[in-house]
Structure 1
């Protein structure tokens, strides 16, 4: 056994060393005669007064003496069975059959959060972590360990959190709020940055409180840092759809000035966020959207300061997407077409932009299907002439 394993074995045995029992074991003698096999005659009964011949004593071969098992240094005599079991366990660890896991109780102040984690530590709060905080209090401490790795050359920190940011925040909050006895339970792992990113991503996928925007920005950084800007390679490593990952990366391009228009970054979800990111590709639309976002941000701040409800995310998204046409659109439709028989408006173009053209067909005009088709064709021709036609 290698010296390092021997030292580790000694440390294990020192934790639960037992005092050897020096009392000799009692010898039990069984005088019950064994049953005689069938077909064998019984021996004759002894004749009274006759001297009985002593039964021959079979030679007894002495059992070879087992050499005493050496004790671990400084531990005194040990029980052979315990030592054998632990030697076997260490052999399984050395062979790779069993993996040794190191868990530590740490001061959260000596542990930082890895910058590659998707979760925004700054946005965690007592309210968002309330359920976890109550669980830790009820169970008398943290039961599920976080995953950390050791860091070097940082006098302020010894470890950094790879997975378990909310657990770290909750323990730190509890220690500062009447529970100084709680410690941060962590499992130490040796991971490079790419493996750490994949581990953190797997955990965050199961967390509903990690927003799509947080994950999208995390993916955008990882694409550059770990995968050389190769989208296909990243999708393969993460076992994700390439199309889905591409949409997430587009959401990551939404600037902070527009995110501030929402009550929380968690409100920026994949589907509406992707539509907003597409609208921002138009430089002219981007100016109007940024202006509306600043106005919304002021409204959100005022609502928070006065305790009023914030602007809900569907309303925010609607106002942002409508901003490019809100300021310069005429009071009426962009184009209208009247039915030839009644002279009443039968076709109206309500909006035209990057997302498409909105056309309204009016009821009760007396227009036939062929009339309406002609009206839609006229509307598209008019938009084309204005430079707002359908993109091919």
Structure 2
């Protein structure tokens, strides 16, 4: 530290700590305390230590950040029971929530960046015979992108935040702060792109898939590796979505013998996807001999029954002949037609 800075620190310390009597000999403890204050002030001045104030506040004066990664509406006494018991045992909230000040809003003083669950618990306790408990917050000055990273870092190790909540937060942040550049986002989070991709894939699951699970919060990124391949092919995807809707509707109607756990539901998806894939394999393209100078292609099912005939007329068009009475099913013909669209129709 330069002599000028030392002088500044000495003057600052002199304001905090009255000067010792010149005739009195300072004790060893006094020197240690003064040295400790001097070192602390030096750290604050250099920026190596950040002094973030903490306060006990009324939770009703705190609003939840609109981009918070917690599904606040999904919180309830059951999901928060462990934290409620901990606060009651300690008589207070031990770990402060991270907030930032709110301006130009007469209804709120702070915005909760991290600590929505703590906020819910304190509000619940105050409404249930414990009005003396207040909300402990740590006040910081953060941009939205900084707030996102602080919230993610604090909640990443918490088991009470589900993977689906975190995944939705990442997908939203990708567009808001990183212009859709997954590589940049992974770098800012100090994680691999593969790790981030699994979360983004989870967040992008269709609503029909999520609705088939009794509790979507039980879905993990470890499950995405089994679900994603089932949605790759259009026909398989349609079959899986149909099965998901069947499970959801069946649960709503109180049907029994429905797959209940996450692994069971994923296995049910795999069964219908495999059936659809096998059905596609059974439809074979068979080249027929040339007739009247034109190429003909007859599509048959696995048993050799003709489904339809393709006749090439010119370079811009083809004509089809259906065989509705030769024994092929309507589903097999629909599959064959979809194959034709994929083959001949340019995107």
Normalising by structure 1, we get a TM-score of: 0.58
Larger-gyration structure (1/2): 1
Could you list the per-position Cα deviations for residues 67-108 of structure 1 after superposition, in whole angstroms to 9, with x for gaps in the alignment? xxxxxxxxxxxxx99x98998566764454643221111221
Instruction: Give aligned pairs, total.
Output: 268
Answer whether contact 1:300 1:311 (CA < 8 A) is retained. Answer: no
CA RMSD of aligned residues (A): 3.9
Is the CA contact 1:211–1:265 (under 8 Å) kept in the aligned structure 2? Answer: no
Whole-angstrom distance in 1 between the partners of 2:141 and 2:215: 35
Q: Distance in 2 between matches of 1:129 and 1:209?
A: 9
Change (3 A) 1:334 1:97: closer
Unaligned runs of 5+ in 1: 14-64, 67-79, 336-386, 388-392
2: CA distance, partners of 1:128 / 1:302: 26
- Residue of structure 1 aligned with 2:89, choices 134, 138, 146: 138
Report if aligned partners of 1:124, 1:169 keep a CA contact under 8 Å in 2. Answer: yes
- Give, in whole Å, the separation in 1 of the partners of 2:149 and 2:221: 20
> 1:22-43 deviations in whole A, cap 9, x for unaligned?
xxxxxxxxxxxxxxxxxxxxxx
* 1:169 aligned counterpart, secondary structure: helix
Aligned counterpart, 1:168:
119
Q: Which residue of 2 aligns with 1:346?
A: none
Distance 1:134 1:231, change over 3 A: same
**Aligned: 1:186 with 2:117:** no
- CA-to-aligned-CA distance 1:128-169 (integer Å, 9 cap, x gap): 111110010010110110111112233332211111221111
Instruction: Write out per-residue CA displacement over residues 346-378 of structure 1, whole angstroms, 9 at most, x where no aligned residue.
Output: xxxxxxxxxxxxxxxxxxxxxxxxxxxxxxxxx
Question: Does 2:263 align with 1:314?
Answer: yes
Shift of 1:309: 10
Q: Counterparts of 2:112 and 2:99 in 1: how far apart (Å)?
A: 4
- From the superposition, tell whether residues 278 and 251 of structure 1 become closer, same or farther in structure 2 (CA, over 3 Å): farther
Quote the Cα distance in structure 2 between the aligned partners of 1:91 and 1:329.
72
User: TM (normalized to structure 2)?
Assistant: 0.65
Whole-angstrom distance in 2 between the partners of 1:234 and 1:244: 11
Q: What is the alpha-carbon distance in structure 2 between the residues aligned to residue 255 and residue 108 of structure 1?
A: 36
Instruction: Measure the CA separation in 2 of the matches of 1:191 and 1:315.
Output: 43
- Aligned equivalent of 2:153: 202
Within 5 Å, give how 1:294-305 maps onto structure 2.
294-301=245-252
Higher helix share: 2
Instruction: Assess if the C-alpha contact under 8 Å between 2:97 and 2:118 holds in 1.
Output: yes
Structure 2 match to 1:16? none
Segments of 5+ residues of structure 2 without an aligned counterpart are 1-6, 23-29, 284-338, 340-347
The residue number in structure 1 matching 2:229 is 278
Give the distance between the partners of 2:82 and 2:215, measured in 1 at CA.
Answer: 20
Alpha-carbon shift at residue 191 of structure 1 (Å): 1.0
Match of 1:110 in 2: 61
